[in-house]
Amino acid sequence: MNPKDELRDFLSTRRARLTPAEVGLPVYGVNRRVTGLRREEVALLAGISVEYYIRLERGRVGSVSDTVLDGLAHALQLDEAERDHLHKIVRAAAAPSGGRRQARPARMRVRATVRRVLDLMPSPAYIRNGRFDILAANDLGRALYGPVYERCGPRETPNSARFVFLDPTAPDFFVDLDSVRSDAVAFLRAEAGGDPYSRELHDLIGELCTRSEQFRHLWAAHDVRYHRSGVKRLHHPLVGDLTLDFEAFELPSDPGQRLNVYTAAPDSPSAQALSLLACWASPPSEPVSAQRPLEP
| Model pLDDT for residues 220-265, shown as the tens digit of each residue | 999 999 889 999 999 999 999 999 999 999 999 999 999 999 999 9
**Does the pLDDT at position 294 exceed 70?**
no
Which CATH number does 112-281 carry?
3.30.450.180
* Dihedral (Cα; 27, 24, 7, 207), 10-degree rounding: -90
Inter-residue contact 65 to 79 (CB < 8 Å) = no
37 close to 11: Cβ distance less than 8 angstroms: no
Distance CA 133, CA 152 (A): 12
Fold equal for 3-93 and 112-281: no
pTM of the predicted model over 0.85: yes
Confidence of residue 276 (pLDDT cuts 50, 70, 90): very high
Domain 3-93 has CATH 1.10.260.40: yes
The per-residue pLDDT for 95 is: 78
- pLDDT for 194 equals 87
* pLDDT, position 285: 59
The pLDDT of residue 295: 47
Residue 35 has what pLDDT? 78
Judged against a pLDDT cut of 70, whether residue 290 lies above it is answered with: no
**pLDDT, averaged across the chain:** 90
Domain ranges of the chain: 3-93, 112-281
Calpha distance 165→168 (Å, rounded): 8
Contacts of 184 (CB under 8 A, 6+ apart): 132, 160, 161, 164, 165
